[in-house]
A and B are shown apart, each in its own frame.
Chain A
Amino acid sequence: MTRPHIEPYVELNEDYKAFGLPGFTGSDFKTLSLDPETGACSLKVRFNAGYSRKPGMSYSDMELFVLGGTMQLGDQVIGEGHYLFVPAGMALPAITSEDGCETLVFFNDAEPHWQESDEHHELTLKAGYVSLNTYKDAPWSGGSIVSPSVATGCMIKLLRYDPLTEAMTFLYCMTPEFMQDNISYHDCGEESYHIWGTSWMMQFGDLPTGGYFWRPPYINHGSFRSKLGCIALGRTDSKLHNYFHFNPWTNPSENLHRAASMLYRQRPQLFKWVAAHGGHNHPHGPVGQTAAVAPTDVAPTDVAPNDFEHVDYGDDPQVQMLANQVMRFLEADRSGHHHHHDD
């Protein structure tokens, strides 16, 4: 089970609900999306004036972004635009909010969870902690840090990057009159909350201030427009690769097959390793894999995934050459003898 496709959802049209779970008494919440099995969720949380809680930790990674107002964490006051990534088990100091604040809160592994503690859990990965004023202390970068790239006028500030999954949390903005004439999809789940401004996508129409989406992988979105510009907080759950195309009617299954066909063409050795013998020969992943990839008895063109855009790509000689290549490693002579070409 994972989260359903929630797009678009404009939370400003909904009422807050009182939050009664431990650690949240004195706050109100709106659920943006959640995983029904694990409880992992994205919430908008309003910490009301006078909110306070003791030092404590969660057994889930937690992210927080301040939309407005201020909050005091121990000796530190954080305000509008501040971002925190708090690894599971890391104890935060006492939190108070004298005048209240509105935030986005993300629990990545489990339901909203907090328990009183003034010590970190012994297993916490403290090095992952991020505390950053994203508005004041981080520059905008061109969106072209990923390729294929968004069009000029869409910029990002990378706030957190997970080196294992390449999951990202980032701010992005679109300049006034931004436009990008393609349809995109990704291998990753993607999430966004519009802090201010309106963008438009050809499938869903306008996403205004307070607009939100949680989009599972391989779902078409775009083309894109923003008349007056916008700024948003975005997250992905793994690597974001932009697959662009111009067929508005494809479904997620077709998009997935096309993505697999690109892996087949562009990373043929990796594709073959994964696909060898039905993909079941390496159930535990590449742990300790040091030998060359063995030839398979399946003709590469027999396992080439469908690509709705390039239906005949299997006929392309370069693709065939790549598909038929078998990686072999030469054995180095480590005996100390030196061989010469004319030996």
Chain B
Amino acid sequence: MGDRVQHKKPSMSAEAREWLEQETDAQERRYAGIVAEQEALTPDREQWYAQFLEIVSTRGFNVTGDQRRVIPEDELPTRPDRDDAMNVVW
């Protein structure tokens, strides 16, 4: 493997390590907040999913670009019986 500038980087300074730890903790709190916010949106999301399936089965689904295909009812997916079915943040 050829050398790159990145391979020559001095090890992380104590100051930078402390900054990274603080920001990592803050990011974990931010992530938890986002998950909670998104779970609270679940009732709205259920409606959005229903509207989406209505649209793709009437006006159509964008296959690529503006090319649309109307999805027949027997191809429409149904919600699986699975705990993560309504998850959107992973």
Residues of A within 8 A of B (CB): 4-9, 20-22, 31, 33-34, 36, 39, 41, 59-61, 87-89, 109-113, 121, 123-125, 144, 147-152, 180-182, 202-205, 216, 219-220, 223, 242, 244, 246-249, 251-252
Contacts and interface: CB of A to CB of B under 8 A. Distances in A.
A7 B62 contact: no
Contacts of B15: 20-22
Contacts of A180: 62
Contact of A246 (B5, B45, B61, B85): B61
A113 B10 CA distance: 10
Interface in B23-46: 23-24, 26-28, 30-31, 34, 38, 41, 44-45
Interface of B: 3-6, 8-10, 12, 15-16, 19-20, 23-24, 26-28, 30-31, 34, 38, 41, 44-45, 48-49, 52-53, 55-56, 59-66, 68, 71, 76-77, 79-80, 82, 84-90
Contact of B88 (A60, A87, A204): A204
A266 B61 CA distance: 22
Contacts of A89: 5
Contacts of A123: 3-5, 8
A148 to B, nearest CB: 4
B8 A181 contact: no
20 contacts: A5-B31, A6-B34, A88-B4, A110-B12, A111-B20, A112-B16, A113-B16, A123-B3, A123-B8, A149-B64, A151-B66, A181-B61, A182-B61, A182-B62, A182-B63, A244-B64, A246-B56, A248-B49, A248-B52, A249-B79
A220 B12 contact: no
Contacts of B41: 204-205
Contacts of A244: 61-64
Contacts of A205: 41, 44
A251 B90 contact: yes
A152 B65 CA distance: 6
Nearest to A219: B90
Contacts of A22: 15
A262 B8 CA distance: 40
Contact of A147 (B56, B64, B80): B64
Given A5-B89, A150-B65, A152-B66, A202 B31 contact: no
A247 B77 contact: yes
Contacts of A31: 23, 26-27
B56 to A, nearest CB: 5
B5 A9 contact: no
A151 B60 CA distance: 13
Contacts of A5: 31, 89-90
B10 A59 contact: yes
Contacts of B10: 59
In the A-B complex, the 3 residue pairs with the closest CB atoms: A89-B5, A59-B9, A148-B64
A216 B90 contact: yes
